[in-house]
Structure 1
Amino acid sequence: MSKAFASTADTAEKKISFTQLGEGLYAFTAEGDPNTGVIVGDDGVMVIDTQATPKMANKVIEHIRKVTDKPIKYVLLSHYHAVRVLGASAYQPQQVFASDATRSLIVERGKEDWDSEYGRFPRLFLAADTIPGLTWPTMTFPTKFTLYMGKRRVEIMHLGRGHTAGDTIAWVPDAGVMFSGDLVEYHSACYCGDAHFKDWPKTLDKIAEFNPKALVPGRGDALTNPTEVGEGLKLTRDFLTTLYGSVSESAAKGLSLKEAFDRCNDAMRPRFGNFAIFDHCQPFNVARAYDEAMGLDHPRIWTAERDREMWAALNG
């Protein structure tokens, strides 16, 4: 019996948590679904990653309104993936921030990614007909800039490639809290279909240099103390190095992609097989790792058609 494609069989509603990490700092999480971060400043609110549709974003807004009535002025896109950005219109922000590289990826593959992710994980696209179109940043930056939300300073930085070529983090120095996007995951598989495996661990090193007291990962529970942050960084690193180590070894031996996939599953499943979305991610992860090991630096574009073909070829 073949596996249901990606997460099409995942229809169960997830329990939402809204965790406070510091004064005016919150994590909207839902048992391995995409997370959203919230920063409350003196004069307004920033949202980091928006959910996939305006309808889904309204769930975040409901929780924000329980803790503040300040206007939601800013949206930060940690990267370009549809489940992270297409709900932005619900917040009616004054500004939408993204790295230069993220905007370039939206230009290159934003529509294809939208179609791809909707096909992979339809539950996350509640009321998809409410999405007005691609989300475009109103302001971009090469590597970093500082935003003052009244007296509260927020450092917004592209530390290096990892989950995508344009990953952006938000750092709140007064509380020692970081919002990492999908550069860090917690008891959730890293999605690596657009990854840069050789760069990602170096970017994790840069995150660790901040010594965060707390961190909001892309998926999984909020990390509320330095011990949990350290665990999240280690699990993410171990996931990546185990995956790429196995696949690059297979490629060096001249094994096929299917053979590399089977060997990688054997290497990873004992430790990571119970992580959220592990089976969903694995074919796309191995395909990208194989490409990088074979010298392809720029990830190929995933389309809804390519998704299905890859899934059938590797899970068949």
Structure 2
Amino acid sequence: MTKQFASAGDMTEKNISFTEIGRDLWAFTAEGDPNSGVIVGDDSVMIIEAQATPRLANKVIEKVRSVTDKPITHLVLTHYHAVRVLGASAYGAQTVVMSEKARSMVAERGQEDWESEFARFPRLFQGHESIPGLTWPTITFTDRMSVYLGKRRVDLMFLGRAHTAGDIVAYVPDENVMFTGDIVEYHSACYCGDGHFHDWPATLERIRSFNLGAIAPGRGDALVGTQMVNAALDSTRDFVKSTYSPVARVALRGGSLKEAWDACRAECDPKFKDYAIYEHCLPFNVARAYDEALDIDTPRIWTADRDAKMWADLQG
């Protein structure tokens, strides 16, 4: 077990990559830090994921300006987590899109999530003083909507619960490319603390059914080609199932959270211990899997106090 909580000790800046994954489609990645996506249309630009702060968002904008001078008019947020949304003000986008469910989660738990994630990821929240407040969408939808950047169509879709209850994807049909948010990861641990283990595999299979040419995942390298796409879908599915099953067995026989932690490590360490943010995610994943096994369908709200208590319990 790591001695420092979550990513509190990770203060090393990551190397940024900016990879074209289709015509005028770009993945902004940073060695396991949260990714962003860029869709360049005929007359404007859509950004997928805002980053944690305006400071980090400006790094995305710098890369955008290296390939186009078209205005950024749309910002799509795949879910409500603070590290994804609080940099939104930097883009000056006229339209900010979330699912209706994601917006409800901002209202329900957005402030608590911000305070919790601030303690988990101090490096990502450098420059937090410039965050003007919670990020709210200007448009929401339930199942699907299409946005036109000139003639280029972007389909925004809810394909099922996974990383959160409100995850959406952005699909660009003219290039058969999808921006999946944290539903899909590549050589990075899935954060399941607000997840839905039972639903997640089916949501992955709905993504697979598109037979995509490329994916920009939530974390990790851009995935270009069907072989990399399918490998990432497979490894994400394996991570989710390998986390849930041993924890559920412990929970259903009345074992403790610490016993569930040990069982999860025994299953997952041999396969995933080298993944980015693995140690960060593990305690939250175990806690949520334990709850879901006991039929707690709605993830309990994480607060800074709950984080600290959970960590102390597992240290004991």
Task: Give the equivalent residue in structure 2 for 1:70.
Answer: 70
For 1:99-145, what per-residue CA distance to the aligned partner results, in whole angstroms no more than 9, with x for missing partners?
00000000000000000001001101120000000000000001100
Q: 2:123 matched to 1:120? A: no
Task: Give the equivalent residue in structure 1 for 2:225.
Answer: 225
SS of the aligned residue for 2:223 comes to coil
The alpha carbon displacement at 1:2 in A equals: 6.1
Task: Give the equivalent residue in structure 2 for 1:307.
Answer: 307
SS of the aligned residue for 1:47 comes to strand
SS of the aligned residue for 2:228 comes to helix
* C-alpha contact (below 8 Å) 2:2/2:279 kept by paired residues: no
* C-alpha contact (below 8 Å) 1:54/1:89 kept by paired residues: yes
Measured in 1, the distance between the counterparts of 2:160 and 2:99 equals 11
Which amino acid is 1:78 matched to? T
Q: 2:261 matched to 1:272? A: no
Task: Give the equivalent residue in structure 2 for 1:4.
Answer: 4
SS of the aligned residue for 1:122 comes to coil
Measured in 1, the distance between the counterparts of 2:313 and 2:234 equals 31
The alpha carbon displacement at 1:183 in A equals: 0.1
Q: CA RMSD in A?
A: 0.9
* TM-score, normalising length: structure 1: 0.99
Superposition pairs for residues 18-29 of structure 1, below 5 Å?
Answer: 18-29=18-29
Task: Give the equivalent residue in structure 1 for 2:199.
Answer: 199
Measured in 2, the distance between the counterparts of 1:315 and 1:28 equals 36
For 1:196-230, what per-residue CA distance to the aligned partner results, in whole angstroms no more than 9, with x for missing partners?
10001110011001111000000000001110000
The alpha carbon displacement at 1:22 in A equals: 1.1
Task: Give the equivalent residue in structure 2 for 1:91.
Answer: 91
User: Mind listing any 5+ residue stretches in structure 2 that lack a counterpart?
Assistant: none
* TM-score, normalising length: structure 2: 0.99
Q: How many residues align?
A: 316
Measured in 2, the distance between the counterparts of 1:102 and 1:36 equals 18
SS of the aligned residue for 1:74 comes to strand
Which amino acid is 1:232 matched to? A
The alpha carbon displacement at 1:283 in A equals: 0.5
* C-alpha contact (below 8 Å) 1:186/1:219 kept by paired residues: yes
Task: Give the equivalent residue in structure 2 for 1:292.
Answer: 292
Task: Give the equivalent residue in structure 1 for 2:177.
Answer: 177
For 1:43-64, what per-residue CA distance to the aligned partner results, in whole angstroms no more than 9, with x for missing partners?
1000000110001100000000
Task: Give the equivalent residue in structure 2 for 1:152.
Answer: 152
Which amino acid is 1:305 matched to? D
Percent of residue pairs identical: 61
SS of the aligned residue for 2:101 comes to helix
For 1:10-67, what per-residue CA distance to the aligned partner results, in whole angstroms no more than 9, with x for missing partners?
0111000000011110000000000000000001000000110001100000000000
The alpha carbon displacement at 1:252 in A equals: 1.9
SS of the aligned residue for 1:123 comes to coil
Task: Give the equivalent residue in structure 1 for 2:168.
Answer: 168
Task: Give the equivalent residue in structure 1 for 2:56.
Answer: 56
Measured in 1, the distance between the counterparts of 2:100 and 2:205 equals 22
* C-alpha contact (below 8 Å) 1:2/1:315 kept by paired residues: no
Q: Compared with structure 1, are the counterparts of its residues 239 and 76 closer, same or farther at alpha carbon in structure 2 (3 Å cutoff)?
A: same
The alpha carbon displacement at 1:153 in A equals: 0.7
Which amino acid is 1:143 matched to? D
User: Mind listing any 5+ residue stretches in structure 1 that lack a counterpart?
Assistant: none
Runs of 4+ in 1 over 3 A off after TM superposition: none
